[in-house]
Amino acid sequence: MPSPTPVYEIYAVKYAGPLISSVAMVLWNTDWEKKIERNYYVWVIRGNGETLIVDCGVAPALAKERQIAGYINPVEVLARLGVDASQIKRVIITHVNFDHISGIELFPNATFYIQKREFTFWIRDPIAKKPPFFRVTDPVGNAYLAKLEGSERLVMIDGDQTILPGIELLLAPGHTPGHQVVAVNTAHGTAIVGSDCAHIFRNYEDEIPSCFITDMIAWMKTYDKLKRKVSSMDLLFPGHDMRMLTQYPLVAKDITRLV
Ligand SMILES: [Zn+2]
């Protein structure tokens, strides 16, 4: 008889925020005059003797340069959960925007999982140097990522792929050309760490994305794909919603257990 699929827990680890912007920035063209707060997170997936990190956060030097409000080195926040970043073996990169890639150097012993088309766009395509893309780029983090090409520390994923029993990476473009999400088997069914496929829960509820769009049609198809995949809508998690910190059990300062 095959052994049952392992079950994992998912933690949201807030390392910066709140940052304030127009609602229209996180809810496409809605409520220009209203303000909304958002946090910056990385996520921990833990179970079956494994600890995986989703996204790298921001490195201290870039946080200083960009004057990111409420910033704490993700390494320090992870330590509150008993996670030693220097010992982490697997980090999943959802996409190559600065708030998700800049901290790549904080995981010196990790293997990184990224979609091939995401790597190719940000590292090779001259369009990625144009202002709308360059504004959300950390050249230092991208250079570190580029240097890993061809080494054992970088795994290029092409589409949907299971990397461990109960942990599947799904290609989910729209926000960026090769954005990926993580489908995780949990005690409550399949959950998805969706990162910036949606900035807040309302993006999924209202089917209105944020204003950070590289392909709106791909984005809508991604929404449908993720909704089909999750066991219930409350297991589909966004990238920057304040509620990930306030509406789930707090297990340490700035860390909640989502499921
Ligand atoms: Zn983000």
Summarised one tens digit per residue, pLDDT across range 25-46 is 999 988 999 999 999 999 999 9
Tokens found for residue 65: 């340069």
In angstroms, what is the span from residue 22 Cα to ligand 1's centroid? Answer: 16
Dmax of the chain from CA atoms? 59
**pLDDT value for 145:** 98
**pLDDT value for 108:** 98
In angstroms, what is the span from residue 62 Cα to ligand 1's centroid? Answer: 15
Q: Helix 116-124 vs helix 139-147: angle between axes, to the nearest 10 degrees?
A: 120
In angstroms, what is the span from residue 212 Cα to ligand 1's centroid? Answer: 10
In angstroms, what is the span from residue 114 Cα to ligand 1's centroid? Answer: 16
In angstroms, what is the span from residue 94 Cα to ligand 1's centroid? Answer: 10
In angstroms, what is the span from residue 196 Cα to ligand 1's centroid? Answer: 5
Measured between alpha carbons, how far is 128 from 120 in angstroms, rounded to an integer? 10
CB atoms within 10 A of CB 129: 11
**pLDDT value for 99:** 97
Measured between alpha carbons, how far is 170 from 189 in angstroms, rounded to an integer? 16
In angstroms, what is the span from residue 135 Cα to ligand 1's centroid? Answer: 13
* Site of tokens 């409420």: 70
In angstroms, what is the span from residue 2 Cα to ligand 1's centroid? Answer: 38
In angstroms, what is the span from residue 175 Cα to ligand 1's centroid? Answer: 10
In angstroms, what is the span from residue 70 Cα to ligand 1's centroid? Answer: 15
In angstroms, what is the span from residue 115 Cα to ligand 1's centroid? Answer: 17
**pLDDT value for 64:** 98
Number of helices (H), then strands (E), belonging to the chain: the values are 10, 13
Determine which helix (DSSP H) or strand (DSSP E) holds 134, and give its type and residue range: helix 131-134
> What's the gap between Cα 82 and its chain centre?
20
**pLDDT value for 3:** 80
In angstroms, what is the span from residue 203 Cα to ligand 1's centroid? Answer: 14
Contacts of 24 (CB under 8 A, 6+ apart): 30, 31, 32, 211
Tokens found for residue 254: 């700035």
DSSP state of 186: E
In angstroms, what is the span from residue 93 Cα to ligand 1's centroid? Answer: 12
In angstroms, what is the span from residue 151 Cα to ligand 1's centroid? Answer: 26
**pLDDT value for 1:** 65
Q: What angle do CA 49, 161, 14 make, to 5 degrees?
A: 55
In angstroms, what is the span from residue 5 Cα to ligand 1's centroid? Answer: 30
DSSP string over 23-38: HHHHTTT--TT-EEEE
Measured between alpha carbons, how far is 27 from 53 in angstroms, rounded to an integer? 27
Residues with CB under 5 A from ligand 1 (ion): 99, 196, 239
Intervals of the chain under pLDDT 70: 1-2
